[in-house]
Structure formats: C-alpha cells, structure tokens
C-alpha cells in the first residue's frame, strides 16, 4: 500500500508532526484535489493573490495553479480549460478533434506537474514523507521529474531527478536551474525507450532509507489525479462544444500511455460519457501492438513495459505512430515554410496555425492517434475525440535544429512541408490500429507480469487484482479521503 501511494491513514505521527511544522514555516497551504479539478472552489483571496504572481516562480501560491484552467498567459483563471480544435482541413477527418493544452500549467509549462503533486501530497499528509529528512526521487523521461523537482522546491524539500541522458537539452537546462545541487540530476543510459534503466537506478537509490521513490509508473496518485482533474477538464471542454450543438457525442479519449497517468482520464470519460479509450505507442517500439521492442524519439511515451497503473482491461483500442511522423509534423508546425504552407496552400486560419506550437512530440502523436481512431471507427461530424498535448514545442527547440541540420541539410522548404502534410496527415491510415477484445486486453495485461512481479517484486495476487474493474472503481474513494486529510493538515499548519 505504501509503495503504491494508497494509504489513507496517518502512518507515522512523528513524521506527520514534523511535516506540519515544516510547511507552516514554509508558508505552504496545500490545495485539495477537488480544488484542482474545479478551481472555482479556490478562495477569492487566493485567486486575487495569484494575479500578480509570476506563474513559474517557486512560490507556494503557484500550487493553486496546478490545474487545466489557466489562461493563455498562465496568470488568470479561465472559464473553460485551454484547448484547440483542429479543423478537418488539417486532420482530413470529419470528427471534431480537440486537444487540451498542457503548456498552460505553471512551473514547468507541462501538465506533468499535476501528476507530481498527485503522487507526493498523499505521502505527505499520511506521514510517509518527511520534507526535512527524506529526498524525493522523481524517475521519468523528463516532464514528470521536472514537475517533481518544482513541487519539491516549493515544499522546501530535497528533490532528485532521474531521467535518460538522451532527452531534450531544454529539459536539462530547466533542471539545472531548479535543483539544489547538480548531483541531483541523475542521467541514466539511453533515451525514451530505456525505462528499465530508470527502474534499475531507482532500485539502487531505494536501498538508502532517506530516498523516497515516487515512481509514476506504479503510483496510483498519478492515475487518480488525472482521472479526476484531467477527466473533468476534458468533459468540460466537450460540454462547452455540446452546449452549441446538442447532437455531439464524445466518441473517444486518446492518450499515449507513457506512465499511464493521463490515460486514467479516459476511465472518467468512459464512466461519464461512454467514450472509448485509445492507447498510443511508437511504432518503433510496438510493445502493446506486437510485444515488441526498439527505440524512438516521441519523448514523453516511455515503453518496453506496461505501467502498473494502466487500466488495460478498460482500454478499447491501441494505435501506433512512427516518430518519423511526429518529427515531420513538428517541422511542419514550427518552421516558417511549414506555417506558410498550411496558411497559403491549405487555407488554414493563421491564428489556428500559430497555436500548433502548443503540441510537443507526444501531443502530435496523440493527434495522429485521434485521426487514426476517427478513420478506424468511421466517425463523423457529430463525434468528438479529446486528447492532450502534455507540453509544447518550446521543449524541443534544440531537437528541431538538430533535425533540420541532419535530415534537411539546414533548410526546410515548401516541398518538404507538402511532403510532410501529404505523408503524415493526408496519408494517415488505419494501419497499426488494434481494436481490443477481452483476449487481446488480457495479452497486454499479462505483459506487465515480467516488469512488476519478476523485476519489481509485486505479489502475483496484487498484480492480478487489477484485472477486475472493481479494483479501479474502489480506488476513487481515496480522493475524498485524501482531500479530508489535506483540509485537516492545512488546519494543523494554521494556513487552512
């Protein structure tokens, strides 16, 4: 239970008391998960105080911006989560594809800061994490560990990032500016596909008592915070569209699995609106599609394993996208020649084109997955597909320059733009899409055995329990329990 972040009682009263004292001195009031899911619940006093605060400042008040409802400048509170709707002229399908924008989050300009908060706070209010003694270790392929370091710094505790050495330079630049010590950035071998090497390093660190590993791949706080907050945000966007056209239905939610936190929003949307859940992965490493392996550059969707918190038996489709496609469309969306082609040759609205830089690699992957889903299921104009862009192009500028030099000889022109559009958008097909029946779900589920039972020491009984949907529905009461504990904790600090 402790390892998976599922405790709902105070485990150690002494640690709890020290945490209360520590956060009182640091002036930290913790937002509840209900407030982050619906920021209209945040007190007017806090909203007013936020208006003059830089959204990336390591200030405790910025915890109240860790939600989907920030305005484009990330300073104000929007009535509807930030999103863009992609027109048929771009996607080539009649279905309405909407992309929630993770770049509106504070501190790291990516929505993984929400996952970090969802993993750490339950440990804090249950007396399992001592901010004066423990080191918070954040293993990821980039955004989650940045979110964890940001939350750690706000709580004035020691945060450590563990990530592959081959991730984008921008991630490391950010970390170097935020950690206490350069040694708090631990570089493991490889790139996006080398998740096991991250696990191995964490196993080594876990041998030291002061290190607390917040493994996003098996921390159910990650699943639950996205179930509630990201699920509700996508529902709100859909309801905003439906208010104008009552004939609309939410046909699907698409998400790269990564740590399988974000895809938890699909469970919420299936429960509430009957949406199908589509899991994305890279074709260069087709783990769910083919029990395969390999390496790719769609940063943000680690693979070669099935995350423990992925509700596989509730997933409806799996789709694969090549990093050739995400690389090519990244150039199309983020070069002058590409944007000019989209406006002048494809007739897209210049304002819409200017917003496409809100899609990082995984956001482009998710968009392509939505297109594949629409074509596979034969969806029409009354169907809405929701997905997310975890981060934006801002995190991959060095990657773009390297790609430009290595593939295009330093020059991306109109012909290159037309080729990228034709191959990856107009030419998007229903290949590499698998509609799951019970047997296929069970096959994918069983792949997780080798990571979690054989390598990570989870009991077979606990592993198998996740096949039953009752296990997942039973988790959701923990959100209310944690919120009650957060309220009580804030009262103890005197900051509630």
> pLDDT tens digits, residue range 2-50?
567 899 999 999 999 999 999 999 999 999 999 999 999 999 999 999 9
In this structure, is residue 310 part of a structural domain? yes
Does residue 471 belong to any structural domain of this protein?
A: no
CB 73 within 8 A of CB 95: no
Q: Residue 300: its pLDDT value, please?
A: 67
Domain for residue 2, yes or no?
Answer: no
242/416 Cα distance (integer angstroms): 38
Is-contact 163 143, C-beta < 8 A? no
Residue 145: pLDDT over 60: yes
Task: Read off the tokens for 356.
Answer: 């496409």
DSSP secondary structure of 151-192: HHHHTTSEEEEEEETTS-HHHHHHHHHHSSSGGGEEEESSST
Residues 56 and 151 placed together within one structural domain of the fold: yes
**Alpha carbon 185 to its chain's center:** 21
The residues, ordered by sequence, that sit 6+ positions from 66 with a Cβ below 8 Å of its Cβ are 31, 36, 105, 106, 107, 113, 114, 117
Beta bridge partners of 389: 101
| Residue 1 pLDDT greater than 60, yes or no | no
| Confidence grade of residue 466 (pLDDT, cut at 50, 70, 90) | very high
| Confidence (pLDDT) at 3 | 64
**What DSSP character marks residue 348?**
-
Whether residue 411 is contained in a domain is answered as yes
User: In this structure, how many other beta carbons lie within 10 angstroms of the beta carbon of residue 204?
Assistant: 11
Is the domain of 260 the same as that of 407? yes
Cβ–Cβ under 8 Å, residues 139 and 198: yes
Query: Average pLDDT for residues 86-93, to the nearest whole number?
Result: 98
Distance (Å, rounded) from C-alpha 145 to C-alpha 152? 10
Mean pLDDT score, 364-391:
97
Same domain assignment for residues 62 and 87: no
DSSP string computed for 75-143:
SSB-SS--EEEE-HHHH-SSSEEEEEEGGGSSSSSSTHHHHHHHHHHHHHHTT---TTT-EEEEESSSH
In a domain, 214, yes or no: yes
Eight-class DSSP state of 132: T
If asked whether residues 417 and 402 sit together in one domain, one would say yes
**331 and 182 both lie in a single domain:** no
* Same domain flag for 431 and 397: yes
Express each pLDDT in 394-413 by its tens digit: 988 887 778 778 778 888 99
Give the end of a domain, one of 435, 459, 490. 435
Q: To which residue do tokens 């599922």 refer? A: 6
> Same structural domain for residues 362 and 417?
yes
Q: Phi, psi at residue 375, to the nearest 5°?
A: -70, -40
Strand duo 317-321 + 433-435: pairing:
antiparallel
Global model pTM greater than 0.85: yes
Task: Answer yes or no: is pLDDT of 165 > 80.
Answer: yes
Tell me what percent of the residues of the chain surpass a pLDDT of 70: 98
Domain boundaries, position 336: 83-105+221-435
User: 97 and 179 in one domain?
Assistant: no
The CA distances from residue 262 to 140, 229, 310, 414, in Å, are: 14, 10, 10, 35
Residue 95 sits in the same domain as residue 129? no
At 302, is the pLDDT very low, low, confident or very high (cuts 50, 70, 90)? low
Q: Write down the pLDDT at residue 166.
A: 86
Residues 133 and 249 in one domain: no
Rounded to whole angstroms, how far apart are CA atoms 73 and 77? 10
Question: For residues 128 and 2, what is the distance between their CA atoms, to the nearest angstrom?
Answer: 8
Mean pLDDT, range 289-299, rounded to an integer: 83
Average pLDDT of the chain to the nearest whole number: 94
Of 200, 220, 240, which closes a domain? 220
Residue 461's pLDDT is 96
pLDDT, tens digit (0-9, with 9 covering 90-100), for 121-139: 999 999 999 999 999 999 9
What is the percentage of the chain residues whose pLDDT exceeds 90? 86
Q: Is residue 289 part of a domain?
A: yes
Structural domains counted in the chain: 2
* Distance separating alpha carbons of residues 128 and 114, to the nearest angstrom: 20
Using the 3D structure, point to which of 220, 236, 253 is the last residue of a domain: 220
The CATH number that applies at residue 50 is: 3.40.50.1100
Residue 495 near residue 19, CB atoms below 8 Å = no
Q: What is the mean pLDDT of residues 448-470?
A: 95
Residues 118 and 180 occupy one common structural domain: yes
Helix H or strand E segment including 282: strand 276-282
Is residue 168 one of the residues assigned to a domain? yes
- Kindly indicate the confidence band of residue 142, based on its pLDDT and cuts at 50, 70 and 90: confident
Answer yes or no: do 136 and 281 share one domain. Answer: no
Q: Tens of pLDDT along 171-220?
A: 999 999 999 899 999 999 987 677 788 889 999 999 999 999 999 999 99
Q: Does 487 map to a domain?
A: no
């Amino acid at each position: 239970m402790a390892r998976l972040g599922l405790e709902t009682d105070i485990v150690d009263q002494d640690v709890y008391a020290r945490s209360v004292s520590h956060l009182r001195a640091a002036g930290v009031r913790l937002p509840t998960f209900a407030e982050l899911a619906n920021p209209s619940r945040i007190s007017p006093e806090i909203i007013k105080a936020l208006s003059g605060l830089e959204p990336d400042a390591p200030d405790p008040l910025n915890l109240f911006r860790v939600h989907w409802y920030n305005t484009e400048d990330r300073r104000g509170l929007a009535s509807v989560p930030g999103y863009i709707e992609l027109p048929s002229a771009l996607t080539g399908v009649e279905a309405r594809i909407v992309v929630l924008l993770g770049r509106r989050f504070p501190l790291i300009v990516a929505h993984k800061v929400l996952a970090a908060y969802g993993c750490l706070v339950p440990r804090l209010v249950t007396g399992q994490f001592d901010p004066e003694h423990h080191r918070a270790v954040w293993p990821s392929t980039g955004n989650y560990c940045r979110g964890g370091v940001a939350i750690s710094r706000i709580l004035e505790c020691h945060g450590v990032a563990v990530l592959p050495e081959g991730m984008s330079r921008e991630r490391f630049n950010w970390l170097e500016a935020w950690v206490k010590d350069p040694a708090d950035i631990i570089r493991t071998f490889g790139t996006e596909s080398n998740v096991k090497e991250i696990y191995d390093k964490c196993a080594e660190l876990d041998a030291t008592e002061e290190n607390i590993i917040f493994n996003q791949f098996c921390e159910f706080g990650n699943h639950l915070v996205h179930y509630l907050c990201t699920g509700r945000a996508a529902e709100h966007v859909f309801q905003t569209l439906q208010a104008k056209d009552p004939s609309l239905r939410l046909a699907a939610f698409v998400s790269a699995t990564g740590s399988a936190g974000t895809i938890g929003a699909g469970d919420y949307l299936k429960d509430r609106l009957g949406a199908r859940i589509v899991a994305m992965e890279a074709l260069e490493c087709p783990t769910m599609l083919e029990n395969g392996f390999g390496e790719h550059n769609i940063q943000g969707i680690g693979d070669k394993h099935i995350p423990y918190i992925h509700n596989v038996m509730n997933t409806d489709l799996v789709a694969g996208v090549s990093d050739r496609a995400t690389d090519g469309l990244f150039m199309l969306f983020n070069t002058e020649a590409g944007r000019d082609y989209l406006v002048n040759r494809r007739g897209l609205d210049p304002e819409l084109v200017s917003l496409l830089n809100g899609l990082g690699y995984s956001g482009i992957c998710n968009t392509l997955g939505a297109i594949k889903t629409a074509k596979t299921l034969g969806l029409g104009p009354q169907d809405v597909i929701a997905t997310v862009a975890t981060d934006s192009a801002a995190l991959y500028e060095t990657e773009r320059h390297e790609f430009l030099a290595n593939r295009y000889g330093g020059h991306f022109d109109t012909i290159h733009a037309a080729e990228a559009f034709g191959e990856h958008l107009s030419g998007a097909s229903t290949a590499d899409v698998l509609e799951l029946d019970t047997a296929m779900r069970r096959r994918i589920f069983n792949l997780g055995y080798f990571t979690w039972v054989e390598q990570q020491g989870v009991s077979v009984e606990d592993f198998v329990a996740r096949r039953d949907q009752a296990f997942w529905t039973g988790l959701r009461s923990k959100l209310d329990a944690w919120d009650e504990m957060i309220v009580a904790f804030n009262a103890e600090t005197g900051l509630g």
